[in-house]
Amino acid sequence: MRSFTLRTDIERHRIGRFQLPLGLEPIDLPAPSEGYTIEFVEGDDNAPDVYRFYAVTSFEKVSALLDALFQILPGEIFPLVEVGSKDAFRTMDIFSAREPMQLDEFLEDWREYRQVILEDGSIGAGAQADEPYMEVFVDSWKGVDVQVAPDMKDDIEQLMARHGLEEVAHTWPPEVDERPEPPLNVREILVLDSEECPDIDEILFQLREAWGLELDVDLDENLDEGGRRLGRTLWHAVAIVESADDDSPRAGYALAWASASSMGELQRMLESRMELQDEWRFHGQWYAVDRVAFDERPDSLSALPPRPARSEVHEFRIEPA
């Protein structure tokens, strides 16, 4: 695993005394009210009744607040990650674990990646538990979202008070959500001056592997963010492969452009293609799978029609890492 390094050539932005993470630049953004809001959310057949807290505090205090909240999670949790998407038809990629992991293991990984999760302006992460139900999540603005069963409401209010936070009418001013353009720019925080420096995509992949995360999409559908069926679209995929020569192990990347009517169909086509060669083995590790707007297709696919008549792999190659 390649370790990351944060840039030291950029300064942290402040709004008054309120500090932002390194990865966010404000655009005429008013200061928030430090504190938390609270609302009761009635459950349904799939979710229990909860109280939802949303806390905003200056950046230097966020880590301690999260550490305290993580400590009251039960012993078995499901990790969660959200990150700005490169997919042409989705703004956020939401990853969740299908199998539980021990809280101690999660916290060990959290400490390993905490710096980049908290400083990067495009990623959020946290954990959810079922017994008792509880969720702790820090979003890309580094607001802290907490959901708990009603009998834990007082405990969370007391915890917030110990961290100097009180209930407020609103955290960020309401007019922030009404602006047509985002009030914050996301900027790069990682040192990327050599091939040995991992970018946020590689760090996300490491988190996905460590926490057993899967993209929260229907593999058999092809929907946009609003639920509209897209039919067949252009996809770009990168998969991790390893050499079939056990005496000389090495890693590689399978890169492909294809038209498919769902992610599941795309993955099946590429798995079949990889089975046609003997030099590399594929063990189910997808580094990136994204839909690409037709106008953003590479020059090599300039003859591709806007509505492909069939699903097929247009380009496929394997490169050593």
179 pLDDT band (50/70/90 cuts)? confident
Are 79 and 156 within one domain?
A: yes
Are 178 and 264 within one domain?
A: no
Are 102 and 235 within one domain?
A: no
Are 19 and 141 within one domain?
A: yes
Does the structure show a pLDDT above 90 at 218?
yes
Long-range contacts of 201-208 (CB under 8 A, 24+ apart): 201/287, 201/288, 202/2, 203/4, 203/113, 203/116, 204/81, 204/83, 204/123, 205/287, 206/1, 206/113, 207/79, 207/81, 207/109, 207/113, 207/125, 208/81, 208/95
Tell me which of 113-117, 180-184, 202-206, 266-270 is least confident.
Answer: 180-184
> Can you tell me the distance from the alpha carbon of 69 to that of 75, in angstroms, rounded to the nearest whole number?
13
- pLDDT, one tens digit per residue, over 69-91 is 999 999 999 999 999 999 999 99
The Cα-based distances of 167 to 34, 38, 86, 164 in angstroms read 9, 7, 36, 10
- pLDDT, one tens digit per residue, over 124-155 is 999 999 989 999 999 999 999 999 999 999 99
Provide the pLDDT for residue 3.
Answer: 85
Provide, rounded to the nearest whole percent, the portion of the chain with pLDDT above 90. 91
> Which amino acid is it at 230?
L
- pLDDT, one tens digit per residue, over 32-42 is 999 999 999 99
Are 180 and 238 within one domain?
A: no
Does the structure show a pLDDT above 70 at 119?
yes
Dihedral of CA atoms 42, 48, 49, 54 in degrees, nearest 10, equals: -100
Domain assignment present for residue 226? The answer is no
Provide the pLDDT for residue 180.
Answer: 78
Are 174 and 252 within one domain?
A: no
Does the structure show a pLDDT above 90 at 178?
no
Domain range for 35:
14-186
Mean pLDDT, residues 298-310: 95
Tokens of 109: 């990984």
Does the structure show a pLDDT above 90 at 195?
no
Q: Is 104 helix (H, G, I), strand (E, B) or coil?
A: helix
Are 262 and 170 within one domain?
A: no
> Which amino acid is it at 254?
A
Does the structure show a pLDDT above 90 at 181?
no
Domain assignment present for residue 311? The answer is yes
For the chain, the domain total comes to 2
248 pLDDT band (50/70/90 cuts)? confident
Are 173 and 59 within one domain?
A: yes
- pLDDT, one tens digit per residue, over 222-236 is 999 999 999 999 999
Domain assignment present for residue 72? The answer is yes
Residue 47 φ then ψ, to 5°: -150, 145
Provide the pLDDT for residue 236.
Answer: 98
**Residue whose C-alpha is closest to residue 109's, from 215, 217, 213, 186:** 213
Are 46 and 173 within one domain?
A: yes
> Can you tell me the distance from the alpha carbon of 269 to that of 266, in angstroms, rounded to the nearest whole number?
5
Are 179 and 32 within one domain?
A: yes
Are 111 and 244 within one domain?
A: no
1 pLDDT band (50/70/90 cuts)? low
> Which amino acid is it at 258?
A
